[in-house]
Amino acid sequence: MAVCDTLVIMGGGVMGRGMARLFAKAGMRVTLVDVRDIDFVHPGVTLAHEPPGEPVPDLVIEAVFEDRDVKQSVFARIEACYGGRPVLATNTSGLPLDELGASLTYPHRFLAMHFYQPADLFPLIEVVRGARTEDSAMAVAEAAVRRAGREPIVLQRAVNGYLINRLQHSILHEAYHLLESGIATAETIDKVAKLLLGPRMCITGLLEQKDLAGLEMHAQAQRSIVPTLSHTGVPSAYLQDMVARGDVGVGSGRGFYDWHGRDGAAVQRRAAARLERLLAYLQKDEAE
């Protein structure tokens, strides 16, 4: 049976720190490597500027900047240190997995482990097989996820965005279209997400809910609604323009909402605490 005891995380930013907390809490030996000096202390986590020579880790997770060249230079460093002994996982959100791994010497050890932010909160972690990943590498990544008390969502082939971001982006793309067209406000769209779609998905998911409701009416609605959805095939210009003019959300004071004079950090903290309580409730409720 695959085991995962020692872990090296490359990149001690937002995601790397969350992963370090998660795996150290599960009793794994974790080294968090960053080129910068980082201010992070957690029992069971050793900080370093370079991957340690010994022991050879079972798993290396790369969580550096979302930049192909930076990631590939980290992969080369890891292969130079350890050869093909550890499993090498990337946490990329959007870079195509097989292109990212194209220059590897040991592509059979390479896969993606995709965490959501905060990395130590959500119960599910995507584990994605690359074109040449061997079964034993998948087994080590899945063992690490299970050891941390999380559930692996296994994808047997890499698709851009994996499963969760594909679903999320398809609904957001339509939301931007409705907003841009003046059909609904940001407040209205978020109210529907918070009080209708979100709660219903928490209980019966997407597909089970359709089975429960019966598929005839749903198939009919697909025939009339799908042709009218926003099928642009390009990123939303509305969103790209916002970012180009510096309206990037809480950080700049303006995004879909006006954040001037509001304590964005307090809103984020409250949201994280509420999410934690909701997930605890849902997991308990699901188990009953």
Residues that bind ligand NAD (CB under 6 A): 10-16, 33-36, 63-66, 70, 74, 91-93, 115-117
Q: What sign does the CA torsion over 174, 279, 121, 272 have? A: positive
Shortest reach from residue 99's CB to ligand NAD, in Å: 14
Shortest reach from residue 14's CB to ligand NAD, in Å: 4
Q: Which residue, 169 or 210, has its beta carbon nearer to ligand NAD?
A: 169
How does strand 29-33 pair with strand 6-10?
Answer: parallel
Contacts of 198-206 with C-beta under 8 Å, sequence gap 24+, read 202/278, 202/282, 206/167
Separation between Cα atoms, residue 244 and residue 238, nearest integer Å: 10
Q: Which residue, 117 or 185, has its beta carbon nearer to ligand NAD?
A: 117
Q: Which residue, 100 or 137, has its beta carbon nearer to ligand NAD?
A: 100
DSSP β-bridge partners for residue 254: 249, 258
DSSP β-bridge partners for residue 129: 111
Q: How many residues does the chain have?
A: 288
Judge contact between 20 and 6, C-beta under 8 A: no
Shortest reach from residue 145's CB to ligand NAD, in Å: 15
Shortest reach from residue 65's CB to ligand NAD, in Å: 5
Judge contact between 62 and 91, C-beta under 8 A: yes
Q: Which residue, 76 or 217, has its beta carbon nearer to ligand NAD?
A: 76
Q: Which residue, 95 or 201, has its beta carbon nearer to ligand NAD?
A: 95
Cis peptide bond N-terminal to 227, omega within 30 = no
Q: Which residue, 54 or 69, has its beta carbon nearer to ligand NAD?
A: 69
Q: Which residue, 26 or 64, has its beta carbon nearer to ligand NAD?
A: 64
Residue bearing tokens 């997995």: 97
Phi/psi at 10 (nearest 5 deg)? -95, 110
Shortest reach from residue 86's CB to ligand NAD, in Å: 16
Q: Which residue, 2 or 116, has its beta carbon nearer to ligand NAD?
A: 116
Please give the full DSSP string across 48-61, using - where no structure is assigned.
ESS--SSSPPSEEE
Separation between Cα atoms, residue 179 and residue 191, nearest integer Å: 13
Q: What sign does the CA torsion over 207, 213, 216, 222 have? A: negative
- Residue 154, classed as helix, strand or coil, is strand
